[in-house]
Amino acid sequence: MCRPASSLPPSSSDVQMKSLCYPIQRHLTTPLVLAAALLASCSGPERALHEEVNPFIGTGGHGHTYPGATVPFGMVQVSPDTRLEGWDGCGGFHITDDEVYGFSHTHLQGTGVSDYGDVLLMPTVGPMDTGSVWRERYKDRFVRGSQHAHAGYYRCELERSGVEVELTASERVGLHRWTLKQQDTLQLVVDLAHRDDLINYGMYPLDDSTLVGQRVSDNWAREQHVYFAMRFNRPFEWLDQMAELKTQIDADGNLKQELTYVPIFSLAFKDVSEVQARVSLSFVDMDGAVANLSQEGTDPNGFDAARAEAESAWDAALGRIQLDEDDADERTVFYTALYHSLTVPNLATDVDGRYRGTDLRIHQAEEGTPRYTVYSLWDTFRATHPLLNVLEPERTEAFVRNFIGMHEEGGQLPMWELAGNYTGCMIGYHAVPVIADAWAKGLRGFDADKALDAMVAAATADELGKPVWDSLGYLPLQRESESVSKTLEYAFDDACIARMAQDLGRMDVAERFGRRAQGWQNLYNPDNGFLQPRYGAAWREAFDPTEVTFEYTEANGWQYNFFVPHDVSGHMALLGGPEAYADMLQDMFGGSSEMTGRHQSDITGLIGQYAHGNEPSHHMAYLPAFAGHPDRTQALVDSICDVMYTSEPDGLSGNEDCGQMSSWYVWSALGLYPVTPGSDRYVLGTPRYDAATWTLPNGRTLELKVHRKGANAKFIHGLSIHGEPVTRSWVTHDELMAGGTWEFDVRSVPAPKDGFGRAPGDWPNEDWTLADEVFVAAPYLNAPRSYSGDSLLVDVGCIDSEADVFYRISDDGLSGEFAPLGGAMLVRGTQVIQLYAERDGHRSATVSGRIARVNPDYGVSILNPFANQYAAGGERALIDGIQGEGDDFRTGDWQGYYGHDAVVTVDLGKVHRVTEMNVGVLQDVKSWIWGPSNVVCRTALDSSEFTPFGQAEPGMDPERYGAHSSRLSFKGDRKARYLQLELNQFNRGVIPDWHPGRGNPTWVFADEFGFQADPIE
C-alpha cells in the first residue's frame, strides 16, 4: 500500500479504523451497504463463474477497487469515474457516490495513490447542467439501483440523459454501448484532462467514424504516455475542441474575461437509439493504438460478441479452482477474491510487440515475453505472486523476464513501477522475493544468472540507506526514514538472494547476503522483546510499540515485530523459545487496538495490534503454528476470513493493493499460505469448503476434501495426502503440484497436545542460515542522546552472551584505542562512544553513539506550537546539541511547524558573550515543505527588547523538487541573555497555485538552533 509523500496528516475522514475486539466480531451491515451489495448479479444455483464475481466488493470503505470491465491482466480497465481526488477516490470510484463524470479506460486496482483515469468518455442527451467548467456541465447521476457488474461486464443508467451505459473489454480495447430511451441526438464528450496534469494532448478524426489521440500526463507516474483510437458503429459530426470562459481580476482591479480552449472534445450522433464504440489503447504511439483496434473487438456482432469473449476468458481463469459450496455469499467472496488476484499486473505491449520501457523509449519485445506494468511489489510479493506461480507459471516467467529487462533498460528492478515510471513508492527491493519464489517453485523460463545479477545490483545500489545497511547491518533512524521496516525487509530480501545464489553455486554471493540477512538481530532489544529503532548505537528513547512513527512503513512496532519470515526459529530463540514467542503473538492479537502517534489511514482491520488492512501483518496469523499452536492459527484465520471479507462493497478491511488483500483470502480459504516467499513450504490453516478442486498447470488436479464433525468445526485433527497420514502443519510445493487428494479431519475443538501439528518435528520451520555462517550482532548503548547533569553513567549490552565487547570513548569518536569493556562507562561533557563485539575471531559492525551534554540552565519558549508528529524530541529539541543527519524530514531530527512561523526563544540564564548563531533549514516541495522565506536571529538583555543579530533569505528555489537542506550561520559579537530564532513561512504560509496542494498551509522545518555563547563572569 502506498500513500503520497506528504507530511500533512490525513483528515479525520481518512482515519476510520475498523477496530475489532478479540475474538473478532462480525460486520454490522448498514441499510446503505446492504442495498449496495445487491448491485451484483442475483444468486442462482447454476451461475457461470463470471457471474459469481461481484466487482463492487472493495468499492466501499477503503478498498479502492473499481467496478468496471477488464479481462485477466488486460491493458484496459474501462470503468465509471465518480471522484476527482481524495484517498478513497484512488480507484476513481466509490460506491457512496451518486454523481458520475464519465467512463475512462485505465484504473488502478485498490492502490493508496491516485493515477490513471485516461480518456474519459461521457455520453449525454439533451441540455447539459450549468457550470463554470465543463466537468460540472457534462457530469450526470446514476439512476438509483441501476448499476450492475460481473467479471467482464458493467452496466448503469444515467439519470439526466436517460442513457444506458454498458461496458466490456478485450485485452487492449474497451467497448461501450450507449442505448437511448428513444431516437435522439447523442453528444459524446471526450475529456483528456480528467484527473492528471497534462504534459501533452491532442485528438482529431481520421474519418466520420474514427478518432485518434494522445494524452501524456503527470501524476504518480511523472510521464505517462497513452495513445488511443476510437471507432464507432455510426458516423458522427465533429464538434471540435471545447472552450471555457475564464474570469479574473487583474492587479488594477479590472474584470477580465478570456475564452480559453480546454482539453475536452465533443462529437454528436444524430437520430440514433444506440451507439457502440471501441476504444483501443497503446502506451507506444497512435499507430500502435490503430493496430490494436484493428485486431481486437472486430467481431461483426460487436459489443455482445466482445462481452461473451470477456466472460469466457474469466470463466477459464476462474475455473481453475472449483468449489463445492452451496452458500452463494461464500462463492461470491471467493471468486471475487480470485478475480481481483488476476487483474494485475497489466499488459503494456501492443499487438506488434512494441512497448515503452522503463527508460521511456520504445522497445520490441521478444516473442513470448510481453511487457506488463503496475508492479506493486511491496504488496504483492507476499501472496499474489506466489499464487500466480501456481495459477500462471508461464506468465510469472514473463514477469521475471520483465524485471530483467527493466533492470537493463532503466538500471533498476521495479519497486513500484507504473507505466514505465519508477514512482519511488514503498520500500525494499521486492522484485527479489518474486524472482526467488519463482525459482523455488521450479520455474526456469528466465536467465537465472542475469536475474541474480539484477538482484545483487538492486541490493547494493547507492540509495535508500543501502550502503549504510551493508556496512552496519541495520539502519539507524537518524540516517534513513522507516529505518526498522527497511532493515527487516532488506534482511528478508537479502536472504532470498543468498538462497538463490546458493542454488546457483555462487557461494561468494550466498555468503555475503546470508550474513546481511541476519542483520535484523541488530534491532532486537532483549529488555522488551521488540525489534525497535536505534539512534546509532543507542535505542530510541521512550519507545512505545503502539506508536505509529516514521521509523515504520505504515505501521507501528507491533505490526513489524514479527517480520522475520526467513528466520522464524532465530527470532523465536531470541524471544526465549516457542512458548515465549507464542505468548507475544497472543499479546499482539489479544491486546488493545488503541494506537498512539501519527495518523496513518492505511492501518485498518485491527485485531489487537494486528492490522489485516495492511500488508506487513499478513503472515502473522500463521505464526502460532511455528511455535506448536496450529489451533491458534486455524482459529485466527477462520475469524479473519469471516469478518474481514464479505460480499458487501466494504467487504475488504483495507486497500485491495493490486490483488494482495484478495490473494490472502484465496490461499487462506483453501487452507494454506506462503508465509515465506522464496521457500517451498506452505503453512496450513483450515479449508473453508467441504470440497474444492484445483486444476494445476501441469495437467494434474488437487482435490481438497474436508470431513467436519461438530458445529463451527475449524480445527484440524488429521490430514492424509494420497491416503497417507500427515501430522505436520505444513506442506511442500511439490506435494501441492503432485495433485491427488488431501483429506482433512476437522472438528469443533482443538487437537490434543499430542495431536496434529503439536510435536516439534511437525512445526513449520524457516531457518535459511547457511551452515558455516557466523553472525555477531552489534552491541548497543542503554543511554539517552543528551543529558543535562555533570556526567552520565552509560550501560552497554549485547544479545550475544558469548561475545566480548570492545569500546573507545572520546570527544571526536576517532581518538584512542579500543579496549575490552569492563562495565558501565562514565561520560563527561559531549562525547562519542564506539563499540563492537567479537566472538571466535568474528566481529560485528562497529557502531557509534554521540551523547551530548546540554546546559541545564538554558530555558526554551516556543511562540507557535510545533506539530506533534515532528517534535524531534520536544520543546528542547532545537538546543539538545544533536544535529540531524541528512535531508529526510521523517528521520526524527527535524522539528516541523504547519501553517505558521517558527519563533523560538532561548534563555541562557545569565548574560553571555554571543559570537555565532546558526540553524538548519529544509525544503521538500513534494511534501509541502518549503525553505523559510526569511531567517532572523535576535538577541536581548531582557525578554522584551530584541535586536537583530543576523538575517538572511536561504535562497532555496521554491519550485525545486527533491529534499535538500542548508545551515545558515550568523557571526557577531553581542552581550545577551536571550536568543531568538524566527523562521518565516514561504508564501505567507499558503501553498501556491502551481502546486498540487494549492491553497493548503505550508510547512517549515528546523534542525538545531546552534550558538556560540560564553558566560560573562
**Does residue 339 belong to any structural domain of this protein?**
no
Residues 308 and 385 in one domain: no
Which of 821, 853, 885 is a domain's end point?
A: 853
CA 929/CA 1005 separation, integer angstroms? 7
Residues 532 and 614 in one domain: yes
Q: Tell me, what's the pLDDT at 2?
A: 53
**Does residue 630 belong to any structural domain of this protein?**
yes
CA 182/CA 202 separation, integer angstroms? 33
Assess contact for 249 and 256: CB atoms under 8 A. yes
Which of 853, 873, 908 is a domain's end point?
A: 853
Residues 830 and 894 in one domain: no
Q: Tell me, what's the pLDDT at 214?
A: 98
Residues 843 and 929 in one domain: no
**Does residue 398 belong to any structural domain of this protein?**
yes
The SS3 assignment for 572 reads helix
Backbone angles phi, psi at 979, to 5 degrees: -120, 140
Q: Tell me, what's the pLDDT at 884?
A: 79
* CATH code of the domain in which 727 resides: 3.30.2080.10
Residues 794 and 663 in one domain: no
Collect all residues with Cβ–Cβ distance below 8 Å to 477 and sequence separation of at least 6.
483, 484, 533, 534, 535, 540, 551, 891, 892
What's the number of domains the chain is made of?
Answer: 4
Residues 659 and 802 in one domain: no
Residues 388 and 480 in one domain: yes
Strands 847-853 vs 786-787: parallel, antiparallel or unpaired: parallel
**Does residue 945 belong to any structural domain of this protein?**
yes
Residue in 1008, 1010, 1011 with CA at minimum distance from that of residue 893? 1008
Q: ∠ CA(998), CA(1001), CA(1007), 5° rounding?
A: 125
Q: ∠ CA(874), CA(9), CA(931), 5° rounding?
A: 65
Residues 829 and 737 in one domain: no
Residues 383 and 508 in one domain: yes
H/E/C letters for each residue in 73-99? CCCCCEEEECCCCCHHHCCCCCCCCCE
**Does residue 994 belong to any structural domain of this protein?**
yes
Q: Tell me, what's the pLDDT at 273?
A: 98
Residues 836 and 913 in one domain: no
What residue spans of 274-417 are helical by DSSP H? 286-295, 302-318, 328-341, 377-380, 384-391, 393-410
**Does residue 28 belong to any structural domain of this protein?**
no
Radius of gyration of the chain (CA): 30
**Does residue 741 belong to any structural domain of this protein?**
yes
Query: And the C-alpha cell for 686?
Result: 483450515
**Does residue 172 belong to any structural domain of this protein?**
yes
Q: Tell me, what's the pLDDT at 871?
A: 86
* CATH code of the domain in which 935 resides: 2.60.120.1190
* CATH code of the domain in which 283 resides: 2.70.98.10
Residues facing residue 238 across a β-bridge: 267
Residues 870 and 754 in one domain: no
Q: Tell me, what's the pLDDT at 14?
A: 28
CA 557/CA 485 separation, integer angstroms? 9
Residues facing residue 197 across a β-bridge: 218
| pLDDT per 10-residue tile (average), the chain, 1017 residues | 40 28 35 39 68 98 98 99 94 97 98 95 91 87 98 98 98 99 97 94 96 96 96 96 81 80 94 98 98 94 96 98 96 99 99 98 96 98 99 98 97 96 95 98 98 99 97 96 98 98 96 96 98 95 93 97 97 98 98 92 95 97 98 98 98 97 99 98 98 97 97 96 97 98 98 96 85 88 90 95 95 87 91 96 95 90 90 85 84 90 94 95 93 95 92 92 93 95 91 90 93 91
Q: Tell me, what's the pLDDT at 891?
A: 83
pTM comes to 0.92
Q: Tell me, what's the pLDDT at 29?
A: 37
Residues 645 and 616 in one domain: yes
Domain residues for the domain of 73 are 39-323
What residue spans of 411-472 are helical by DSSP H? 431-440, 448-460, 466-472
Which of 853, 871, 901 is a domain's end point?
A: 853
